[in-house]
Amino acid sequence: MKIVELGDVLKYEQPTRYIVRSEDYDDSYEIPVLTAGKSFLLGKTNEKDNVYDNHPVIIFDDFTTAFHYVDFPFKVKSSAMKLLKEDSDRADLKYLYHKMKTISFDAKQHKRYWISKYSKIKIPLPDLATQQAIVRKLDTAQKLCDLSQTLIEKYEKLSQSLFLEMFGDPVTNPKGWEVKKLEELGTLERGRSTHRPRNAPELLGGKYPLIQTGDVANSNGYIRKYNSTYSELGLLQSRIWKTGTLCITIAANIAKTGILMFDACFPDSIVGFTPNNEMTTNLYVQYWMSFLQKIIEESAPESAQKNINLAILRDLDIPVPPIELQNQFAENIAEIEKQKALAEQELAKSERLFAALLQESFS
């Protein structure tokens, strides 16, 4: 089997001519705007000139070495990437893409990597027929992952649609529900972290879960895990919030929410909401806020980073349907979440299968 450098079988193109002129994106537009980073799809543009259409292609972030396989026309936001195409006489692009997934690379320095280092990485290159057989096997496994992911997304959309069906648009309030200030429906309190610096070593490493804004933003509605803990000293300058508390971020990630699934502490960049159970539920407030999140974020003042204060949250107008209807919504969501959890289990199984096949194919 031949050993080749990636740069021998992947030729790059600079993306300069495909850079979008305006960042005025809208979902109604046709052309995707991509980044090679984690977010991938930044939005859609109505600019139809200089669209990259020589797909499939690998888009490669020159600074982080993140990459994606793209098989549709697109534009890009910046020049901080390479567009990689295969030498089709010797290599299958999808094979190279899968092989790159197995490469461990340290990209801690802020520098461009493709030309200087990454393209020089050596890989085994079997004959073209063997490459294509490996791709077919991995693509079949990937389809199982995609099916489960699509089902999860359908359940998420179903939950949003159910809210609109039962309560109407929370911005325009077409059903004419009574409107109250959010502070009238329960207690809003900022988290606590009085010690400075906040990350002093003696505050951390104990048994008390510590939730940060990123944990809330990435929770998908329910905070089930944590990455930090407080020590006894850390707890003394904070407090514990009970399971079921609705966490709302007010700094960096604005108006993102998650319901605590365990007792935990959190800093003053997060607000805890405890409902008056005779008037509302955490779940209703959470879904209501999900429709307003972008509005709240766009109106947030920005200094070093965007943030809102407790007064802004307390003063928000919220339609208040009958509590019986809110409880019915919660019961329906619980059933949807059960089905979604099953789909997530299937996704996890499919991802493990894919990982095993990937390792087997390139070991």
Look at residue 302 in the predicted model and tell me its pLDDT.
62
* Res. 252 pLDDT band, cuts 50 70 90: confident
CATH fold label, 128-160+323-363: Helix Hairpins (1.10.287)
Percent share of the chain, pLDDT over 70 = 98
Q: What would the pLDDT profile of 217-244 be if each residue is shown by its tens digit?
A: 999 999 999 999 999 999 999 999 999 9
Predicted TM-score (pTM) of this structure? 0.81
In terms of DSSP bridges, do strands 221-223 and 41-45 run parallel, antiparallel, or are they unpaired? unpaired
- Say which residues have a Cβ less than 8 Å from residue 218's Cβ, sequence separation at least 6: none
Tokens read off for 199 = 């990350």
* Res. 303 pLDDT band, cuts 50 70 90: low
CATH fold label, 2-125: Adenine-n6-DNA-methyltransferase TaqI; Chain A, domain 2 (3.90.220)
The overall average pLDDT reported for the chain is 94
Residue 43, H or E segment: strand 41-45
- Say which residues have a Cβ less than 8 Å from residue 256's Cβ, sequence separation at least 6: 213, 216, 217, 248, 249, 293
Q: Name the 3-class secondary structure at 3.
A: strand
| CB 123, CB 95: distance < 8 Å | no
Q: Rounded to whole angstroms, how far apart are CA atoms 195 and 237? A: 6
Q: What would the pLDDT profile of 120-143 be if each residue is shown by its tens digit?
A: 999 999 999 999 999 999 999 999
Q: Which of 90-99, 142-151, 159-168, 250-259 has the lowest mean pLDDT?
A: 250-259
Look at residue 307 in the predicted model and tell me its pLDDT.
73
CATH 3.40.1280.10, domain 178-320, yes or no: no
Instruction: Judge whether residue 349 has pLDDT over 60.
Output: yes
Instruction: Judge whether residue 268 has pLDDT over 90.
Output: yes
- The residues spanned by each domain of the chain are 2-125, 128-160+323-363, 178-320
Instruction: Judge whether residue 108 has pLDDT over 90.
Output: no
Question: What is the mean predicted confidence (pLDDT) over 12-29?
Answer: 95
Q: What would the pLDDT profile of 157-207 be if each residue is shown by its tens digit?
A: 999 999 999 999 999 999 999 999 999 999 999 999 999 998 899 999 999
- Say which residues have a Cβ less than 8 Å from residue 201's Cβ, sequence separation at least 6: none
Residue 83, H or E segment: strand 81-86
Look at residue 340 in the predicted model and tell me its pLDDT.
96
Question: What is the mean predicted confidence (pLDDT) over 91-118?
Answer: 94
Answer yes or no: same fold for 2-125 and 128-160+323-363: no
